[in-house]
Amino acid sequence: MTEIAHTSHPAPATPPDDDSANRRRALIGGIVGYFVDQFDIYLPVIVLAPAMSYFVPAGLDAGTLAIIAAFVFTATLVGRPIGAAIFGVIADRTGRRKSTIIAIIGIAVTTLLIGLLPGHASVGLWGIGLLILLRFVDGVFLGGEYTAAIPLAMEWTQKRRRGLASGLITMTSPGALCLISALTLLLLQIFPAGSPDSAYAVWGWRIPFFIGAALAVGFLVYFVRQVPESSAWQNAEPAAKRVSPLRQLFTGANRRSLLQVFVLMTGVWIALNISASVLPGLTSKVAGLTPTQLTVALIIASGASTLTYPLAGLLSQRIGRRPFYIGVGLLVAVVGAGATALLAGADHPGFATSVLLLTVAFVVGILAFGPIAAYMTERFPAALRSTGYGIGYSLALVVPAFYAYYLVGLGSLFSPTYASAILMAIGGLLVTVGAILGPETRDVDMGAPEGTNVA
């Protein structure tokens, strides 16, 4: 078993009363910032789906349209690890606060520009081309936001409260999904959709993007006025800051830490992709749900998941991060995959049954995200924490991003019906293996000047 060791340098003493307000402001910054980030992530997946005909030529078949829509989302995923590397270095060299401010400005500008884009009727294929390009740039800034703001929040949080703080931050992800689903459902009830010149296709989809840009601006104002720089970063050894965080990350014990979290996060992202991308379509197909019914089902599933994140964070604080992820990985492999298999093999289940199975699989499939902000920031020392967290979190997106191909392969080897359940089980087992390979991190002193992880 591996252990975490720190150097003998003690963390500087800080007056608890003076720091309480800063801790609260930094945590609020982490929560609101991650909500803005996740709200933006889900925009093209949900909001743009009924309006894609506005950006593409008329008469495209469903397969081609699906590929184009996938490019829009994939562009964001590709941008995130690039942004994590760029802004992680900025955060570790010049401060978490400066890096967060730059990233939030970028998110606000790119989201606003997307909301102003013309369609195919006006500029031809330039419309969809600009959409994909702007989503890539947006992905870079999104990767930068959580790479800086979350380590800052975690570094300000007291050790005994890091699990709960992580759950409060990450619960905004299913919360954002729930809100965007409800907002899109409301807009579709008010404005007709379908044709390229319908009210929703021409301008209705723009409303959530303008809201996203406004949220980013509001968060920027709060962050600039209220959130202080991380004391853990300020107290990191000056000599450590002068060495490239990327160079430090890919050498010695830090490289082993990165490989370990890469295994764990690959499993986490696989389970998430099945939960968020495959299960909704599977539920709709098996149960024959209308788009409205499916949206309601997603609101229920994401709402239930939102409530479990703080509980998961508290549990990891009580029993330890390592036992938590070992157990959650097995839970995903057995319960999450089992619920997915039952849903996939069901013969025309009713609405209530399909929503129940969807909710169980969805909640279990993404439960690992509850304490992930605490765990991932605890795995790296202060001088390269943002770089390690950002790259470890985002680079693991790459392998799971090709989940559609894995489903085809598993379907040919076993059964197309149960391919999604098998892949979710694989994701859960990777989480367990990744946790076994890593140390316990709950009691790491994140303010130690030269904290390091030794495999």
Q: Which domain holds residue 41?
A: 3-454
Q: Can you read off the two tokens belonging to residue 341?
A: 């298999």
Q: Determine if residue 438 is left, alpha or beta; phi over 0 gives left, psi from -120 to 50 gives alpha, anything else beta.
A: beta
Please report how many Cα atoms fall inside a 13 Å half-sphere around the Cα of residue 168, on the Cβ side: 16
Residue 108 vs residues 45, 89, 217, 219, 279: alpha-carbon distances, Å: 18, 22, 6, 10, 31
Sign of the CA dihedral 23, 440, 427, 136? positive
Sign of the CA dihedral 218, 222, 223, 225? positive
* Helix (H) or strand (E) segment spanning residue 148: helix 126-156
pLDDT per residue of the chain (455 residues) written in tens, 0 to 9: 343 434 334 444 444 456 889 999 999 999 999 999 999 988 887 888 888 888 888 777 766 777 777 778 788 888 999 999 999 999 999 999 999 999 999 999 999 999 999 988 888 889 899 999 999 999 999 999 999 999 999 999 999 999 999 999 999 999 998 899 899 889 988 888 877 888 998 889 999 999 999 999 999 999 999 999 988 888 876 655 667 888 889 988 999 999 999 999 999 999 999 998 889 889 988 998 887 888 899 899 999 999 999 999 999 999 999 999 999 999 999 999 999 999 999 988 989 999 999 999 999 999 999 999 999 999 999 889 999 999 999 889 888 988 888 998 999 999 889 999 999 999 999 999 999 999 999 999 887 654 444 43
**Phi, psi torsion values for 379, nearest 5 degrees:** -80, -10
4 three-state secondary structure: strand
Is 27 within 8 Å of 192 (Cβ atoms)? no
Number of domains in the chain: 1
Sign of the CA dihedral 221, 35, 110, 387? positive
Number of other CB atoms surrounding residue 454 within 10 Å: 14
Rounded Cα distance, 366 and 358, in Å: 12
294 three-state secondary structure: helix
Sign of the CA dihedral 438, 439, 445, 450? negative
First to last CA, the chain: 8
**Phi, psi torsion values for 453, nearest 5 degrees:** -105, 130
**Contacts with 368 (C-beta within 8 Å, 6 or more apart), sequence order:** 267, 268, 271, 312, 325, 328, 329, 332, 431
Is 64 within 8 Å of 190 (Cβ atoms)? no
Output the domain CATH number for residue 120.
Answer: 1.20.1250.20
Rounded Cα distance, 198 and 190, in Å: 12
In 274-418, which ranges are continuous DSSP H helix? Answer: 279-287, 291-319, 321-331, 337-345, 351-365, 372-378, 385-395, 403-413
